[in-house]
Amino acid sequence: MAEKAIITNWLFLTYFMLQILKVVCANVPAIIVFGDSSVDSGNNNQISTILKSNFEPYGRDFFGGNPTGRFSNGRIPTDFISQAFGLKPTVPAYLDPVYSIKDFATGVCFSLAGTGYDNATSDVLSVIPFWMELEYYKQYQNDLRNYLGVEQANGVISEALYLLSLGTNDFLENYYIIPDGRSSQFSIEQYQDFLVGIARDFVTELYYLGARKISLGGLPPMGCLPLERTTNIFFGSQCIEEYNTVALQFNGKLQALVESLNATLVGLRLVYSDPYEILYDMIQNPIFFGFVDANVACCGTGLFEMGYLCDQINPFTCSDANKYVFWDSFHPTEKTNAIIADHAVKNSLSQFLYW
């Protein structure tokens, strides 16, 4: 009898917790994503660019082993965040013709791999610029109102959680790479301020379009990405501390922007999400998180492969991506993405999980 009572109580508790979760998560009806390859769920598949990942071994640990265009062996952080809020386990790409407004009503991704705040960044790899993501979003709003009706659609728009994640490309694929480009026009501090100004304008326009719950993502420890460590081979392949310092400085400016906009735009709930510390901890203490290697990536030699250099016939690709912090030379594994997402939900995004 005692055992039966324990089982009954456990079942009741499980049911009760599920009901709580439904109530808690009901306040975020959709996840809407803007950014770069860190959160692109397949939009780049539909444009003419060399920056793609819709082929094996990308996606080998995704549902069905499908290479969806996500730059990972599986899911990306926004997929896990969507699931954590009681929504679907993946966020569909807006440009993917397989999906319709019915799919996008509870989550949609406008992110484009290779883009940045700066229009000049998108020109480097011939991708669609960041501002175009906002134009796609405006069309989405129209479609959503036609699908749900104006009142219900406006409710989704105001209660949805908006996630922004970009900026790394502006520095690593633009400022530090193009000799006669932005580095000849701006000091690094000036360039940071230039990008923060664009972020300010973007968030402000989202606000006036109806968004109220917005997460502004910071930069990772970009000097510790395998590709950057490879370029630092003559110095022992250590992290490039200059890049990490720039990331921390930029993140500080984003935090100040968050405070400023929250004080200026009535009703805005803007939060700063910090991927830097948790990812840096994984890189410095991989064993603690269950990894074996944080210096090189799983794909290929783990030093420089990304995109088409990371293909299924590369004999060096690892057999178990869960042992690695990074999947390719620029992007984390699914396991890393899950840890980053969990950290974000428990910290910066937790305020949106309310009764």
Among residues 111, 273, 274, 331, which one is catalytic? 331
**Number of domains present in the structure of the chain:** 1
Write down the pLDDT at residue 235: 64
Q: What is the mean pLDDT of the chain?
A: 91
Would you say residue 9 lies in a domain? no
Q: What is the pLDDT of residues 179-213, one digit of tens each?
A: 889 999 999 999 999 999 999 999 999 999 999 99
Write down the pLDDT at residue 89: 97
Among residues 37, 53, 72, 273, which one is catalytic? 37
DSSP string, 45-96: GGSS-S----STTTTTTSGGG---S-SSSS--HHHHHHHHTTS-SS--BTT-
Select the more confidently predicted residue: 274 or 304: 274
Would you say residue 280 lies in a domain? yes
- 158: annotated active-site residue: no
Would you say residue 5 lies in a domain? no
- The enclosing domain of 62 has a CATH number of 3.40.50.1110
Strands 31-35 and 213-217: unpaired
Write down the pLDDT at residue 303: 84
CB atoms within 10 A of CB 28: 24
Range of the domain at 286: 29-352
pLDDT over threshold 80, residue 2? no
Secondary element (H or E) of residue 32:
strand 31-35
Q: Which pLDDT band holds residue 110 (cuts at 50, 70, 90)? A: very high
* pTM over cut 0.75: yes
Write down the pLDDT at residue 313: 78
Among residues 122, 215, 328, 329, which one is catalytic? 328
Write down the pLDDT at residue 125: 85
Mention every residue, 6+ apart, whose C-beta is less than 8 A from residue 48.
Answer: 126
- 79: annotated active-site residue: no
Q: Which pLDDT band holds residue 167 (cuts at 50, 70, 90)? A: very high
Write down the pLDDT at residue 248: 98
Would you say residue 20 lies in a domain? no
Is residue 326 within 8 A of residue 296, CB to CB? The reply is yes
- 311: annotated active-site residue: no
Return the minimum-mean-pLDDT range out of 46-50, 100-104, 207-211. Answer: 46-50
Write down the pLDDT at residue 18: 42
Q: How far is CA 167 from CA 180, 198, 222, in A?
A: 20, 11, 10
Would you say residue 337 lies in a domain? yes
Would you say residue 17 lies in a domain? no
Is residue 214 within 8 A of residue 158, CB to CB? The reply is no
Average pLDDT over residues 204-228: 97
Would you say residue 166 lies in a domain? yes
Would you say residue 21 lies in a domain? no
Is residue 15 within 8 A of residue 144, CB to CB? The reply is no
Q: What is the pLDDT of residues 11-26, one digit of tens each?
A: 433 333 444 444 444 4
Q: Which two tokens stand for residue 28?
A: 């975020």
